[in-house]
Amino acid sequence: MEPLACPICGAASEPLDVVDVSKSCVEPSGTYLPLSGTPVYYYRCDTCGHCHAPEFLGWSPEDFRRRVYNEDYIRVDPDYVEKRPAVAAAGLHQTFGHVASSLRHLDYGSGSGVLSRMLRESGWNSDAYDPYASPDVSFESLGRYELVTAYEIFEHVADPHRLMADIAGLLREDGVLILSTLLSDGAIAPRQRLTWWYASPRNGHISLFSKKSLTALATRHGFNLGGFSPALHVMWKTVPAWASDFLRTG
């Protein structure tokens, strides 16, 4: 198999391994879905460590709706409906609750908008946007925000530069992006089988970031990158007064 161009840095991305499209994040709990017979190859970039699954580049939104984000999706991601938004809302309110009334917040990739609803109940000025759930809403109608969140979004997109450009267009120049995606450092290595639980096509995890590839993505779009854990990250260009303490400790 020939190398492909890395979707992040453009260097050569080599074939790493192949898994069935039914491989899901709940396998460590002993839940294995029946094999589908559709192979998904993951490629790894030696330069930035980014992994991607080119199989999905040809999928339309309708393909994703039918084969990934369908009525069975909850079986492989049981936390996405209530638990994950509740944890995120609590964390955001604890950190920014004291300035929330003066911020415009957008939850990008919001699904049905649970996080924004929870924040609004706590006095936030929060909007929800999801390219799948609300495809008719245009960016132009949204405007620009002080704070954008994107929880478990970056690993789902085939074109991360397009995603970053879209989000950058929704942020004020001194806006802050908080995102979650689990970094692959220590979990993926060349010439080793891809057994990492997060590398799961059935969950729509088709872009697996390393610290280096997420940094490269941020830098390419003019952002700084900070991190709080292997899963929670923050990007910004200019530090706004309302987030100065947060970004200093981040």
Q: Which residues of this chain interact with Zn ion, rule CB under 5 A?
A: 6, 8-9, 11, 45, 47-48, 50
CB of 182 to Zn ion, least distance (A): 18
**DSSP secondary structure code for residue 101 in this structure:** G
**What are the backbone dihedrals phi and psi of residue 41, each rounded to the nearest 5 degrees, phi first?**
-90, 135
Q: Dig out the tokens for 61 from the structure.
A: 């939104």
CA proximity to 210, closest of 196, 223, 193: 196
Which of residues 167 and 217 has its CB atom nearest to Zn ion in the complex? Answer: 217
What number of other Cβ atoms are within 10 A of residue 24's Cβ?
24
CB of 4 to Zn ion, least distance (A): 11
CB of 13 to Zn ion, least distance (A): 6
CB of 8 to Zn ion, least distance (A): 5
Which of residues 149 and 213 has its CB atom nearest to Zn ion in the complex? Answer: 213
Which of residues 6 and 243 has its CB atom nearest to Zn ion in the complex? Answer: 6
Q: For residue 207, what are the β-bridge partners?
A: 52
Which of residues 104 and 205 has its CB atom nearest to Zn ion in the complex? Answer: 205
CB of 174 to Zn ion, least distance (A): 29
Task: Tell me the three state secondary structure of residue 30.
Answer: coil
Which of residues 11 and 165 has its CB atom nearest to Zn ion in the complex? Answer: 11
Task: Tell me the three state secondary structure of residue 216.
Answer: helix
CA proximity to 44, closest of 218, 194, 155, 205: 194
